[in-house]
């Protein structure tokens, strides 16, 4: 499988929005087969400590 889909969940739409989770999965679009998966939660506190800025309008 050469295709990888990545999903980032963020607390905003701007480039400096905190990432709160990262998901990824390999897939084959010709067969709809899924391969190895990855998922991790990212601490909002650590993202903000790294300079990320939450967007209240996106969260509410």
Q: Which of 14, 11, 3, 4 is nearest to 41 (CA)?
A: 11
pLDDT classification of 59: cutoffs 50, 70, 90: confident
Encode pLDDT of 23-41 as tens digits: 999 999 999 999 999 999 9
All structural domains of the chain with their residue ranges: 3-47
Question: What local confidence, expressed as pLDDT, does residue 58 receive?
Answer: 85
Residue 60 has pLDDT above 90, yes or no: no
**pLDDT value at 1 more than 90:** no
Q: In terms of pTM, does the model score above 0.95? A: no
């Amino acid at each position: 499988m050469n295709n990888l889909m990545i999903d980032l969940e963020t607390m905003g739409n701007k480039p400096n929005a905190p990432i709160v989770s990262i998901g990824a999965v390999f897939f084959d679009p010709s067969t709809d087969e899924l391969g190895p998966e990855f998922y991790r939660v990212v601490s909002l506190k650590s993202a903000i400590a790294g300079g990320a800025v939450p967007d209240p309008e996106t969260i509410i």
